[in-house]
Amino acid sequence: MTEHRRNSASIGRTIGVIALSCASLIGISVSQSAARSADTAQGRGPVAAKPLVQTQALSPAERALAQRINALGASFNGDVGIAVKDIQSGYTASFDGSTFFPQQSVSKFWVALTAMDKADQGLLSLESPVTVRREDLTLFHQPIAAQVGPAGYTTTLDSLIHRAITQSDNTCNDFVLWKAGGPDAVRAFLKKSGISGIRFGPGERMLQSRIAGMEWKPSYVGQNFYAARNALPMAVRRAAFENYIRDPMDGATPLGTVDALTRLKKGELLSPYYTQKLLGIMSNTKTGAQRLKGGLAPGWKLAHKTGTGQVLGGEQAGYNDIGIVTGPDGRSYAVAVFIRRTSAPLGHRMETMQNVVRAVIDYSKGDHGVAQFAVQQQPPASKAKAPLSRQQAIAAAVNGLEEEGE
């Protein structure tokens, strides 16, 4: 039986920083415009954000978190969007929080929500047997491919959702997507749930093909996609890559993402059963072990979903992690870090994500944690993590599945 849900909107304060020198006097939206002159010079187009000025004063802890998030965003070597939301109080801090960033596999989160919502309504069985066949295979990261023989592989949608989230398996996700009604069903779920700031793309095959400047063909399954992509003129690939970065068809805003995560945690999107089920699955995510998760302190937990985009000319379009961080006291915080474009070493990206979590942990200590922000605003160069060595990068790829298109 479908369980009733709470329809009350999440109420909170979105407060941030426009000018840090004024932060001690007034509360301001933390949403920062990340439009930089370099963006315009490189033809990426300006990234506009419209901060909302509020007159409510910030507490020292809130002001410190706003300053820390602003400093992390401003110092990152690339285009980053960050949002943090205190699920209990509604206080939100963000940097470039209203801009659309490529999601990549973060979008698997919306597929899981849609499928579970349909299961809640009795419109989809997640426990009935389904068979994944060779023609269902997609591209890039798909561990399930090894199990799909001539007769296919029989499993359940429940198992496929688990693998799509925890392993970021593209075929598992795409199979669930189409069983749940396809991209239009996900968009309909977002609309009926009042989730804003989220776009949903055309599905794994077409999304990744278009980013590369190609149209999907069944023959591209598996490794054939790489060969076809490598055969394209670089001008074609570059144009498609730039178009995707400029206007991602699967784009999401950091603020929209943390709002949705908050509503999931509060039980406003799914029944209690499926709310706990999805959060439990996300708590077992294997990808991105050194992204947000790397910043956790003892006793803290994370339920999350990563996303990793294609690489061209040393630049990556999409390197993300979103999730819910929960402290030993049971208080939770929604966190989203989206990197639109960067050539920074993996270590720099991971360190930025980890520092966002560390900022949340200090914020959770209230005014007692403010002193720690002062010494953590920017670590000295001598203490900053060096870029990953080749061996470390290989280990990260094995342990964190740092694979493009996953």
How many Å separate Cα 400 from the centre of its chain?
15
Structural domain includes residue 158: no
Here the CATH number for the domain that contains residue 304 is 3.40.710.10
> Do residues 254 and 96 make contact, with C-beta atoms less than 8 angstroms apart?
yes
Structural domain includes residue 68: yes
Residue 405 banded pLDDT, cuts 50, 70, 90? low
What pLDDT, in 10s, does the model give residues 347-396?
999 999 999 999 999 999 986 656 555 545 444 333 333 444 434 443 44
What pLDDT, in 10s, does the model give residues 26-73?
333 444 333 333 333 333 333 444 443 343 689 999 999 999 999 999
Q: Looking up tokens 């999409």, which residue turns up?
A: 318
Structural domain includes residue 359: yes
Q: Bigger pLDDT: 217 or 93? A: 93
- What does pLDDT average to over the chain? 84
Other CB atoms closer than 10 Å to residue 3's CB: what's the count? 12
Structural domain includes residue 346: yes
pLDDT value at 277 more than 70:
yes
Structural domain includes residue 325: yes
Structural domain includes residue 145: no
Structural domain includes residue 345: yes
Cα gap 99→81, rounded to integer Å: 7
pTM of the entire predicted model: 0.82
Range of the domain at 24: 20-106+250-400
What pLDDT, in 10s, does the model give residues 134-146?
999 999 999 999 9
Structural domain includes residue 66: yes
Number of domains in the chain: 1
Average pLDDT over residues 256-262: 99
Cα gap 80→337, rounded to integer Å: 7
Cα gap 317→402, rounded to integer Å: 13
